[in-house]
Amino acid sequence: MTKTILVVDDEQRLVSVVKAYLEQEGFRVVTASNGREAIHIGRQEKPDLIILDIMMPEMDGYEFLRVHRKERETPIIILTARVADDEKVIGLELGADDYVTKPFKPRELIARVRAVLRRVGKTEPTAEILRAGDIMLDRDSHTVMVRDHYIDLTPSEFDLLATLMSSPGRAFSRLDLLDRLQGTAYEGYERTIDVHIKNLRAKVEADPRSPRYVETVYGVGYRFSRE
Protein backbone atom coordinates (compact mmCIF):
# COMPACT_ATOMS: atom_id res chain seq x y z
CA MET A 1 0.00 0.00 0.00
CA THR A 2 1.27 3.46 -0.93
CA LYS A 3 2.34 5.52 2.08
CA THR A 4 1.09 9.09 2.42
CA ILE A 5 3.51 11.78 3.57
CA LEU A 6 2.40 15.22 4.76
CA VAL A 7 5.04 17.91 4.12
CA VAL A 8 4.53 21.09 6.18
CA ASP A 9 6.71 24.10 5.32
CA ASP A 10 6.14 27.70 4.22
CA GLU A 11 9.10 27.59 1.80
CA GLN A 12 7.28 26.61 -1.38
CA ARG A 13 10.46 25.92 -3.34
CA LEU A 14 11.65 23.48 -0.69
CA VAL A 15 8.21 21.83 -0.54
CA SER A 16 8.21 21.38 -4.32
CA VAL A 17 11.66 19.74 -4.29
CA VAL A 18 10.84 17.42 -1.38
CA LYS A 19 7.48 16.51 -2.91
CA ALA A 20 9.12 15.65 -6.24
CA TYR A 21 11.72 13.39 -4.62
CA LEU A 22 9.16 11.63 -2.42
CA GLU A 23 6.82 11.02 -5.35
CA GLN A 24 9.74 9.69 -7.37
CA GLU A 25 10.27 7.17 -4.56
CA GLY A 26 6.65 6.03 -4.77
CA PHE A 27 5.09 8.00 -1.91
CA ARG A 28 1.82 9.91 -2.08
CA VAL A 29 2.45 13.48 -0.91
CA VAL A 30 0.11 16.12 0.51
CA THR A 31 1.35 19.55 1.61
CA ALA A 32 0.57 22.42 3.95
CA SER A 33 2.19 25.84 4.37
CA ASN A 34 1.59 26.29 8.11
CA GLY A 35 0.60 24.36 11.20
CA ARG A 36 -3.03 25.41 11.18
CA GLU A 37 -3.51 24.14 7.63
CA ALA A 38 -1.58 20.98 8.52
CA ILE A 39 -3.94 20.19 11.43
CA HIS A 40 -6.90 20.27 9.05
CA ILE A 41 -5.16 18.22 6.32
CA GLY A 42 -3.79 15.75 8.86
CA ARG A 43 -7.27 15.04 10.21
CA GLN A 44 -8.57 14.44 6.69
CA GLU A 45 -5.68 12.50 5.17
CA LYS A 46 -4.33 10.65 8.26
CA PRO A 47 -0.79 10.52 6.80
CA ASP A 48 1.66 7.72 7.58
CA LEU A 49 4.42 10.24 8.33
CA ILE A 50 4.78 14.03 8.66
CA ILE A 51 7.76 16.16 7.66
CA LEU A 52 7.42 19.34 9.71
CA ASP A 53 9.22 22.68 9.58
CA ILE A 54 9.48 24.57 12.88
CA MET A 55 9.43 28.24 11.92
CA MET A 56 6.16 28.98 10.08
CA PRO A 57 3.47 31.70 10.15
CA GLU A 58 0.04 31.40 11.81
CA MET A 59 0.89 28.21 13.71
CA ASP A 60 4.51 27.10 14.06
CA GLY A 61 5.80 23.55 14.26
CA TYR A 62 5.90 23.50 18.06
CA GLU A 63 2.22 24.37 18.40
CA PHE A 64 1.35 21.85 15.69
CA LEU A 65 3.18 19.15 17.65
CA ARG A 66 1.29 20.03 20.83
CA VAL A 67 -2.08 19.82 19.09
CA HIS A 68 -1.38 16.82 16.86
CA ARG A 69 0.14 14.67 19.61
CA LYS A 70 -3.11 14.95 21.57
CA GLU A 71 -4.91 13.31 18.65
CA ARG A 72 -2.52 10.95 16.86
CA GLU A 73 0.88 9.28 17.22
CA THR A 74 1.92 9.78 13.59
CA PRO A 75 5.72 9.55 13.12
CA ILE A 76 7.09 13.08 12.69
CA ILE A 77 10.44 14.26 11.30
CA ILE A 78 11.15 17.90 12.06
CA LEU A 79 13.21 20.24 9.87
CA THR A 80 15.46 22.58 11.85
CA ALA A 81 18.13 25.20 11.18
CA ARG A 82 21.65 23.79 11.49
CA VAL A 83 22.61 26.37 14.11
CA ALA A 84 19.50 25.95 16.25
CA ASP A 85 20.18 22.98 18.53
CA ASP A 86 17.44 24.15 20.89
CA GLU A 87 14.88 23.66 18.11
CA LYS A 88 15.83 20.00 17.85
CA VAL A 89 15.59 19.37 21.59
CA ILE A 90 12.27 21.19 22.02
CA GLY A 91 10.82 19.39 19.00
CA LEU A 92 11.88 16.00 20.33
CA GLU A 93 10.53 16.82 23.79
CA LEU A 94 7.17 17.65 22.21
CA GLY A 95 7.02 14.25 20.55
CA ALA A 96 8.93 14.40 17.25
CA ASP A 97 10.62 11.12 16.30
CA ASP A 98 13.59 12.42 14.35
CA TYR A 99 15.06 15.58 12.84
CA VAL A 100 16.93 16.70 9.74
CA THR A 101 18.91 19.95 9.70
CA LYS A 102 18.66 22.55 6.96
CA PRO A 103 20.17 22.74 4.44
CA PHE A 104 19.92 19.04 3.66
CA LYS A 105 20.27 16.79 0.64
CA PRO A 106 16.91 15.36 -0.49
CA ARG A 107 18.42 11.87 -0.49
CA GLU A 108 19.30 12.26 3.19
CA LEU A 109 15.69 13.14 3.98
CA ILE A 110 14.41 10.19 1.94
CA ALA A 111 16.72 7.88 3.88
CA ARG A 112 15.39 9.22 7.19
CA VAL A 113 11.78 8.82 6.00
CA ARG A 114 12.37 5.21 4.97
CA ALA A 115 14.18 4.46 8.24
CA VAL A 116 11.34 5.81 10.39
CA LEU A 117 8.64 4.05 8.33
CA ARG A 118 10.61 0.81 8.39
CA ARG A 119 10.95 1.03 12.16
CA VAL A 120 7.27 1.79 12.71
CA GLY A 121 6.10 -0.95 10.36
CA LYS A 122 8.51 -3.71 11.28
CA THR A 123 7.35 -6.90 12.92
CA GLU A 124 9.27 -8.48 15.76
CA PRO A 125 9.83 -12.26 15.93
CA THR A 126 10.23 -12.01 19.70
CA ALA A 127 7.66 -12.14 22.49
CA GLU A 128 4.65 -9.95 21.79
CA ILE A 129 4.01 -9.06 25.44
CA LEU A 130 6.76 -7.80 27.75
CA ARG A 131 6.22 -7.32 31.48
CA ALA A 132 8.37 -5.80 34.21
CA GLY A 133 7.09 -4.59 37.56
CA ASP A 134 4.29 -2.08 36.91
CA ILE A 135 4.90 -2.00 33.14
CA MET A 136 3.23 -4.14 30.46
CA LEU A 137 4.09 -3.63 26.78
CA ASP A 138 2.07 -5.34 24.03
CA ARG A 139 3.81 -5.27 20.64
CA ASP A 140 0.79 -6.64 18.80
CA SER A 141 -1.64 -3.92 19.88
CA HIS A 142 1.14 -1.33 20.26
CA THR A 143 -0.03 -0.45 23.77
CA VAL A 144 1.71 0.15 27.08
CA MET A 145 0.14 -0.05 30.52
CA VAL A 146 1.82 1.47 33.58
CA ARG A 147 0.36 1.00 37.06
CA ASP A 148 -2.91 -0.29 35.53
CA HIS A 149 -3.34 2.71 33.22
CA TYR A 150 -2.74 2.85 29.48
CA ILE A 151 -0.27 5.56 28.47
CA ASP A 152 0.38 7.21 25.12
CA LEU A 153 3.89 6.81 23.69
CA THR A 154 5.23 8.16 20.42
CA PRO A 155 6.48 5.50 17.96
CA SER A 156 10.08 6.23 18.97
CA GLU A 157 9.31 6.03 22.69
CA PHE A 158 7.46 2.75 22.21
CA ASP A 159 10.29 1.15 20.22
CA LEU A 160 12.89 2.44 22.65
CA LEU A 161 11.02 0.93 25.61
CA ALA A 162 10.49 -2.36 23.74
CA THR A 163 14.21 -2.56 22.90
CA LEU A 164 15.27 -1.95 26.50
CA MET A 165 12.63 -4.25 28.03
CA SER A 166 13.53 -7.11 25.67
CA SER A 167 17.06 -7.27 27.13
CA PRO A 168 16.87 -6.34 30.83
CA GLY A 169 20.27 -5.69 32.35
CA ARG A 170 21.96 -5.10 29.00
CA ALA A 171 23.67 -1.74 28.60
CA PHE A 172 22.93 -0.14 25.22
CA SER A 173 25.06 2.71 23.91
CA ARG A 174 23.26 5.65 22.35
CA LEU A 175 24.50 4.60 18.92
CA ASP A 176 23.22 1.04 19.56
CA LEU A 177 19.78 2.43 20.35
CA LEU A 178 19.80 4.72 17.31
CA ASP A 179 20.65 1.76 15.11
CA ARG A 180 17.89 -0.35 16.70
CA LEU A 181 15.33 2.42 16.32
CA GLN A 182 16.24 3.81 12.92
CA GLY A 183 18.30 1.17 11.14
CA THR A 184 21.13 3.71 10.93
CA ALA A 185 23.37 5.34 13.50
CA TYR A 186 24.63 8.87 12.95
CA GLU A 187 26.83 10.24 15.71
CA GLY A 188 25.29 13.69 15.30
CA TYR A 189 21.91 12.25 16.29
CA GLU A 190 22.97 10.72 19.62
CA ARG A 191 21.32 13.52 21.60
CA THR A 192 18.01 12.35 20.15
CA ILE A 193 18.17 9.29 22.41
CA ASP A 194 18.71 11.40 25.54
CA VAL A 195 15.57 13.43 24.82
CA HIS A 196 13.49 10.31 24.08
CA ILE A 197 14.73 8.74 27.34
CA LYS A 198 13.75 11.88 29.27
CA ASN A 199 10.27 11.79 27.73
CA LEU A 200 9.93 8.04 28.33
CA ARG A 201 10.89 8.33 31.99
CA ALA A 202 8.31 11.08 32.48
CA LYS A 203 5.63 8.65 31.31
CA VAL A 204 6.65 5.32 32.90
CA GLU A 205 8.55 6.21 36.06
CA ALA A 206 6.85 7.15 39.33
CA ASP A 207 9.79 9.50 39.97
CA PRO A 208 11.62 10.35 36.71
CA ARG A 209 14.46 11.96 38.68
CA SER A 210 15.13 8.64 40.42
CA PRO A 211 14.21 6.04 37.77
CA ARG A 212 13.35 2.51 38.82
CA TYR A 213 13.26 0.97 35.35
CA VAL A 214 15.17 2.98 32.74
CA GLU A 215 18.65 3.34 34.20
CA THR A 216 21.58 5.44 33.03
CA VAL A 217 24.86 3.59 32.57
CA TYR A 218 27.39 6.40 32.90
CA GLY A 219 29.91 6.51 30.10
CA VAL A 220 27.91 3.95 28.10
CA GLY A 221 24.19 4.68 27.63
CA TYR A 222 21.07 3.11 29.10
CA ARG A 223 19.65 -0.19 30.32
CA PHE A 224 16.41 -1.58 31.67
CA SER A 225 16.55 -2.75 35.28
CA ARG A 226 16.79 -6.51 35.88
CA GLU A 227 14.24 -6.44 38.71
pLDDT in the model for residue 123 = 44
Residues of the chain with pLDDT under 50: 123-126, 185
pTM of the model: 0.63
- How many Cα atoms occupy the beta-carbon half-sphere of 223 within 13 Å? 12
What pLDDT is stored for residue 50 in this prediction?
A: 96
Q: What are phi and psi of 96, to 5 degrees?
A: -70, 150
- Predicted pLDDT at 70: 87
The pLDDT assigned to 125 comes to: 44
Per-residue pLDDT reduced to its tens digit, 113-169: 988 887 776 544 445 789 898 999 998 888 999 988 999 998 889 989 999 998 888
Chain-centroid distance of CA 61 in Å reads 15
- For residue 191, what pLDDT is reported? 75
Domains of the chain in start order, with CATH, are 4-121 (3.40.50.2300), 129-224 (1.10.10.10)
User: So what's the pLDDT on residue 121?
Assistant: 64
Question: According to the model, what pLDDT value does residue 64 have?
Answer: 94
Q: Which amino acid is at 203?
A: K
